[in-house]
Every structure is written in C-alpha cells, then in structure tokens.
Structure 1
C-alpha cells in the first residue's frame, strides 16, 4: 500500500503556481478585446496600472508583454502601449479566442468560427471515409446509443466527442483536427445544453445517425451534407430556441 501511494504521488504532475501577472494580463486582454481600450488608443500608463492592481512594475510589464505576444498591443518607446488593429491580433491564440468569441468582435466572429469548423470537419470526414474500419463503426455505434439513451450531460458530451473523434483521428490530419477542437473548446458555453441536454441530443443525434449511416453505406457526399447540417443546425438551435 505504501509503495503504491508513493508511486502515485511521484507520478502526479506538479502544479505550477500561477504567475502574478496572469490574472492582470487576462483582465487587460478582456478590456482590449471588449473595446474598453479601443484600437489605436494607449493603455493606461504603467504607474496607473501599478496602483490599480496593487502590484510591482515588473508584474505589470509581464502582463503587457503577454498582450504584445498575442498581437493585441505594440509597445513603443516613448509612445506607451498602443492597441493594434484587430486584423493584427492572433485570434487563434487560446487566450484571445474565447474572449473574442464571448464579445463576438464585429458581430460575426462566432458565425465565422462555425463556418470554419464546418469546412474543416467536412474535409476531415471526406479524408477519413475510405479508411474507416469495422472497429471505428463499432465505436461510433456505441456512442450513438449512449446519446440516444442517456440523460447525463457528461455522458452525452463524452459520447459526442468520441463519435467525432473517430473520423478525425482516422483522417490522419492532425493540424485540421487540432483547429477544430480549438474552435469547439473555446466557443462560449451553450446554456441551453446545460438546461436541456436530452432535448438537444434528441435533435442532434438524428444528424449523428445520418452521418453514421451514410458512412456505413459508402455515401460520403451524404455524410458531408449531414455533418455540415449538424454543425450549422446546432448553432441555429442555440440562438433561435427560447
């Protein structure tokens, strides 16, 4: 028993302490992305931020440097820290994307993210279709039955992710798969899904079955159409149903 406990403790990853600058960088990032600090304007001077956040100059500099690394600001000697044009921001930076989607820059970023996910995901399923195995179909079938029967949100989401992971993994395209996962993970949480998980999956799994049956029958174009519809319908369902 002692030996096992020691081994488990040794294997457990060491949790690093959060940098003091991290929450400050997050708040400054939120202000930039939300427009509280508009494009072309300067961030408050360093002494002002030191007083506001009650930290050292070093901590403020670290926070501002992290914004510069994400392309949100430029630090100009003698001119202060200036918010850059939105076209220069690293939108896919995992720190920037969730905030940008929350504030939906230009009222179209979330729609663009859904369109990009649909474009990439349909490419992945096309690449995967000829390579799917009986084991792949068995995994997808199992996921479908969980999504048909369970009322537990965690179980539904696990099965959903596992269903889509089958063809993404089989495609062999790690870059596209990673971008799709990033877009999914950073999308603002769907409050309706939390309130009505069974209702949402009653609708979503009709598309899942269409995707599965089309792939099983070798109807790749039909699978692509069903997947594209599935991704876009869920976004519409999120917005249009009260």
Structure 2
C-alpha cells in the first residue's frame, strides 16, 4: 500500500490544509472525516504525525477513548494494518494506553515521551504559553552549566583550540541571524564535546533539534543582541580555557537563562 504511486491529478493537499471542521469530524464527532486528498507514501508515519498533532491539540482529551479501528480507517483512507501500526507507535510514545476490551485511551501530558521528536515537535508547536520551552531552558541551564564545568577540567589542547575557533566564528557572524545561530550551536557543542559527557550532549541535541525549528525559541536577534550574547560566550570560553570549573558553570548558566529572557516573546508573560 505504501508503494502505490500518487494519482497525477492529486493537488497534494494535506489534511491540515482542509477546514478544521472537515479534519476533525471523524475524531471528535460521530461521522467519519473525508478521506485524505492523497495517500502519502509512508502511510503509517503520516497517520501517526496527524494523530499526534490532533492529540496534542486536545481534540481528544486525556482519558477519552481513541476512535475505533474502522472509523480511523475511514478517516484516513488506510487499511487496518496501517492503523494498528500507527496505534502501536502512539503507544510507544506513551500518548495512548491500549487495554484489551477497553479500547485505546489517551494518556495525560505528564506521561508523554517528550524525548520523542514527533511528540516534542507537536508540543512545542501548540504550546501557546511557552511552558515546554521554559522547561527546555531549565534543563539546558542545568546540564550545560555542569558540562561547562567538566570542560574546564577535562578539555585537551585540541578541544581548547576548537573552542577558540568557534568563539571567533561567533564574533565573525554578528549581523547575520541565520549564520550566527549555526555558530552558536557549534560553540555550545564544542563545550559539550570537551566535557566528555556523552549522555548529556545527546540529551541536549535531542531536545534542541525540535526547539530550534520554533521561531519563538530562537527569536530574531539584532546585531546588538548578538554582541551582548557574545560577551557571555566569551566569559564561558575564558573560564574553560583558564580551567576554572566554577566560573565556567556560572557563566554558562547565566548565559542560557539571560539569553532566553531577552528573546522570549513579549506577548507571553513569564510563568
């Protein structure tokens, strides 16, 4: 089924491009939604992406039961095999609980696997209060501060040279937000590499991969804001090279928290 060619007359519209009432009828109401205008090549993945988005939007609240297999098949125009594969994926993401004889129940937000990129991406996308981004900043400030201290204690000569190169690139890219963001990511990664903390580095990468897709997280910094951020980057750089673990931790923590407070959308009040 997944290898079927797309019909040439297909306009390529996705479910999200249809009116909200048409998209949600098969899940929130008693009648099935209209079939998808086209059948994506990887059907189960497409169904999972759409269901995750709808669950995160709250179309089916926590504790409610997911629609039956036949209704999901009709809604998405796919087979039972595809629906079952999709539901298994939702279960592995801890979005739903499958119980024999009781159907498939939507789990509460606190149970969701937020390290799963599909789940995290949807939560960030629909997080009007920025709560998940606030959590991300808290995690980053704690983990990256610790890793900056470890880098100060463990960095070898090549890692110190790399950090200096990345610092120079940050200063060079001031004025170009896109290139500066890339240089910023590379600078932080150089610190994490030097720390030797492989698990911490992997966790930060996983969390930031989706967060950096959100303009609300990265902001649109001015040249003045980039130069101000580089003052903080320089403090981290100098502390690591000096082997001062405590100063490196403090500098990294203050940098991450301070940078977020400066770029946090003004329309959303801090929690």
Q: TM-score range by the shorter chain?
A: 0.7 to 0.9
Q: 1:7 maps to which residue?
A: none
Q: Which string of whole-angstrom CA distances, capped at 9 and with x for unpartnered residues, describes residues 13-48 of structure 1?
A: xxxx95211111011111112211110001122222
Q: Is the 8 A contact 2:152 2:244 kept in 1?
A: no
Q: 1:22 maps to which residue?
A: 45
Q: 1:169 maps to which residue?
A: 193
Aligned-partner Cα distance in 2 for 1:192–1:30: 19
Give the Å deviation of 1:208: 0.4
Bigger fraction of residues in helix: 1
Q: 2:227 maps to which residue?
A: 202
Q: Is the 8 A contact 1:146 1:155 kept in 2?
A: no
Q: Is the 8 A contact 1:122 1:228 kept in 2?
A: yes
Q: Is the 8 A contact 1:33 1:99 kept in 2?
A: yes
Give the Å deviation of 1:199: 4.5
Give the alignment partner of residue 105 of structure 2, picking from 82, 87, 92: 82
Q: Is the 8 A contact 1:207 1:226 kept in 2?
A: yes
Which stretch shows the higher mean deviation, 156-165 or 47-56?
Answer: 156-165
Q: CA RMSD in A?
A: 2.5
| 2:252 maps to 1:237 | no
| 2:181 maps to 1:147 | no
Relative to structure 1, the CA distance from residue 97 to residue 105 in structure 2 (aligned partners, 3 Å threshold; closer, same or farther) is farther
Give the Å deviation of 1:102: 2.5
Q: Is the 8 A contact 1:190 1:238 kept in 2?
A: no
Q: Which string of whole-angstrom CA distances, capped at 9 and with x for unpartnered residues, describes residues 79-136 of structure 1?
A: 2211012232222122211222233398632212211111111111112212223332
Q: 1:135 maps to which residue?
A: 158
Q: Is the 8 A contact 2:152 2:242 kept in 1?
A: no
Relative to structure 1, the CA distance from residue 192 to residue 118 in structure 2 (aligned partners, 3 Å threshold; closer, same or farther) is closer
SS of corresponding position for 2:97: strand
SS of corresponding position for 2:117: coil
| 2:237 maps to 1:212 | yes
Aligned-partner Cα distance in 2 for 1:42–1:106: 27
Q: Is the 8 A contact 2:94 2:107 kept in 1?
A: yes
Relative to structure 1, the CA distance from residue 192 to residue 171 in structure 2 (aligned partners, 3 Å threshold; closer, same or farther) is closer
TM-score (norm 1): 0.82
Q: Which string of whole-angstrom CA distances, capped at 9 and with x for unpartnered residues, describes residues 40-74 of structure 1?
A: 00112222221221111211111111101111111
| 2:66 maps to 1:68 | no
Q: Which string of whole-angstrom CA distances, capped at 9 and with x for unpartnered residues, describes residues 137-178 of structure 1?
A: 322222222222224445323322222222211222211111
Aligned-partner Cα distance in 2 for 1:232–1:53: 43
Q: 2:114 maps to which residue?
A: 91
Give the Å deviation of 1:233: 1.8
Q: What stretches of structure 1 of length at least 5 have no aligned partner?
A: 1-16
Q: 1:160 maps to which residue?
A: 184
